[in-house]
């Protein structure tokens, strides 16, 4: 029996010994107030474990440990090459334990084990390796002053960083924060979502084994209104980095202003437009990209191509191709390695997404593909690919971030209308343009108000490019060297030469 079979993963899941405690100052411990919360497997609808529920008392302990080690300099003043070696060791340990990490991710979120193994865990490892390798190759500057002065421009670690991450890609997005924050010498308190804390908790022991000094990485599972709020209001936290909803992102900015004006870097919601022109070079490829762009990870992707804008002359042809590729996403058991579409994060979220389908229909949209009808329709957590056509930009399905496998289709005539429809959103995370016309591709890319514009693909990219949005999709950037700026302070040292 090997990892290509359902029985293998079922056996691994049954034998799994789940760590469920907080990780503070290099050791696992129960919450200060002794509270726990129940964590469920959304696919099996069974209790996985009782997780320690972090509160403000635990945040205080973690921040204190993080500050102490930061000021002592064990990590913050270590040579970049030394930090690199430790982070590379952490990445190697993650690789050794990649099956456990993938299994925890799938049990926690309901995402297919195929994707946890292929995308989430390798992506997290690549991220840590990339920042480990980058940090001893980033130089300071000497300013072009007059001959009587020497001005040095350096970057220093910012201090104690609070990282609050969501449940859709728990380990991957945690590492998008941990990579640059740890590589630059900071101490971090990681607050995973209460819906998906297991891979983050597991990371604690690997970090200690890799040689990360105690207190440099602390992991506090808990609820936003308890642990998250305490972290955001803490006067000894120097920066917050967050991925999640726009509503929470706005609240974190308020908390920062109410406390110590800590730096706040936010990657928030999205409602990205995927624009298909009649001169698209390959309609079938575009339809395949559009399907994956909205149905991958059950549509629970901030940069999902949730709005499909199709030139009217090719709309019917394109929709037929899209239906064919949507059919590949059949909800199934996440532990089955052949499954490409798992469950949504929980029953409540599934009901919320289904409610949007009803809302769209009541506002005048047409149902082209109904994801409520699928082989597992009796299970409350599953929802299949759904396509709504005749969508007007005023409808809630075109404006709100649904965060599920629901595609809103709108037709357009001409470049200007496509641009107007695409930019008519409070979000600005991503956009895509499919066209043969190189000049049109450049014109559109320049005028689309989005942090990433994809031409003849949807959501391609790697660690070398920044990720983040315009408008209410947030500020700052994850990935690339630009993320290093967010976890450092810029210092000028001006020396008079006598």
The structure tokens listed for 392 are 């007007």
Domains delineated in the chain: 6-268+473-492 (3.40.605.10), 273-455 (3.40.309.10)
- Give this prediction's pTM: 0.97
pLDDT digits (tens, 9 = 90+) for 17-68: 999 999 999 999 999 999 999 999 999 999 999 999 999 999 999 999 999 9
pLDDT at 379: 83
The structure tokens listed for 113 are 């084990």
pLDDT at 3: 79
pLDDT at 1: 64
User: Computed from CA positions of residues 168, 174, 179, 180, in that sequence, does the dihedral angle turn out positive or negative?
Assistant: positive
Q: What is the DSSP letter of 6?
A: H
Residues of the chain with pLDDT under 70: 1
Cα separation values, 177 from 53, 162, 183, 353, Å: 22, 10, 10, 28
Residue carrying the six token digits 């899941």: 13
Rounded Cα gap, residues 170 and 186, in angstroms: 21
To the nearest 10 degrees (0 to 180), the angle between helices 98-109 and 80-96 is 70
pLDDT digits (tens, 9 = 90+) for 321-372: 999 999 999 999 999 999 999 999 999 999 999 999 999 999 999 999 999 9
415 given a catalytic annotation: no
Q: What angle do CA 463, 465, 471 make, to 5 degrees?
A: 125
Residue 74: CB atoms within 10 A of its CB come to: 16
Active-site position among 40, 267, 401, 415: 267
To the nearest 10 degrees (0 to 180), the angle between helices 170-183 and 98-109 is 130
pLDDT at 375: 79
Rounded Cα gap, residues 13 and 2, in angstroms: 14
Cα separation values, 146 from 56, 151, 497, Å: 51, 10, 10
């Amino acid at each position: 029996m090997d990892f290509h079979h359902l029985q293998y993963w079922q056996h691994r899941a049954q034998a799994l010994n789940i760590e469920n405690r907080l990780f503070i100052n290099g050791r696992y411990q129960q919450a200060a107030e002794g509270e726990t919360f129940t964590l469920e497997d959304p696919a099996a609808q069974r209790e996985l474990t009782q997780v320690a529920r972090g509160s403000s008392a635990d945040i205080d302990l973690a921040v204190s440990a993080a500050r102490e080690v930061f000021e002592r300099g064990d990590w913050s003043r270590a040579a970049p090459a030394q930090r690199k070696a430790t982070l590379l060791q952490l990445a190697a340990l993650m690789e050794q334990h990649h099956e456990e990490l993938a299994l925890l991710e799938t049990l926690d979120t309901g995402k297919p084990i195929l994707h946890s193994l292929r995308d989430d865990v390798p992506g997290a490892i690549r991220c840590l390796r990339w920042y480990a390798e980058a940090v001893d190759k980033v130089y300071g500057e000497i300013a072009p002053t007059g001959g009587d002065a020497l001005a040095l421009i350096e970057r220093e670690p910012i201090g104690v960083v609070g990282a609050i991450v969501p449940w859709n890609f728990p380990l991957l997005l945690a590492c998008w924060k941990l990579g640059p924050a740890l590589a630059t010498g900071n101490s971090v308190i990681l607050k995973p979502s209460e819906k998906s804390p297991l891979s983050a908790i597991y990371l604690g022991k690997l970090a200690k084994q890799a040689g990360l000094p105690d207190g440099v990485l602390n992991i506090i599972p808990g609820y936003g209104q308890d642990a998250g709020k305490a972290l955001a209001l803490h006067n000894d936290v120097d920066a917050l980095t967050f991925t999640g909803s726009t509503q929470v992102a706005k609240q974190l900015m308020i908390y920062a202003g109410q406390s110590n004006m800590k730096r706040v870097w936010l990657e928030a919601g999205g409602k990205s437009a995927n624009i298909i022109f009649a001169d698209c070079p390959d309609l079938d490829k575009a339809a395949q990209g559009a399907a994956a762009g909205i149905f991958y990870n059950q549509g629970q992707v901030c940069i999902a191509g949730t709005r499909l804008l199709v030139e009217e002359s090719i709309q019917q042809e394109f929709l037929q191709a899209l239906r064919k590729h949507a059919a590949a996403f059949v909800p199934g058991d996440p532990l089955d390695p052949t499954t490409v579409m798992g469950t949504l994060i929980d029953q409540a979220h599934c009901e919320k997404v289904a409610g949007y389908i009803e809302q769209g229909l009541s506002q005048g949209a047409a149902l082209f593909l109904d994801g409520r009808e699928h082989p597992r329709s009796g299970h409350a957590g599953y929802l299949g690919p759904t396509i709504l056509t005749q969508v007007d930009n005023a409808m809630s399905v075109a404006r709100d971030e649904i965060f599920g496998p629901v595609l809103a289709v709108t037709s357009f005539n001409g470049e200007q209308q496509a641009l107007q429809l695409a930019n008519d959103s409070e979000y600005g995370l991503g956009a895509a343009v499919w066209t043969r016309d190189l000049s049109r591709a450049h014109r559109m890319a320049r005028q689309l108000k989005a942090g990433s514009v994809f031409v003849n693909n949807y959501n391609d990219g790697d660690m070398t490019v920044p990720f983040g949005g315009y408008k209410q999709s947030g500020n700052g950037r994850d990935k690339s060297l630009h993320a290093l700026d967010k976890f450092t302070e810029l210092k000028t040292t001006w020396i008079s030469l006598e």
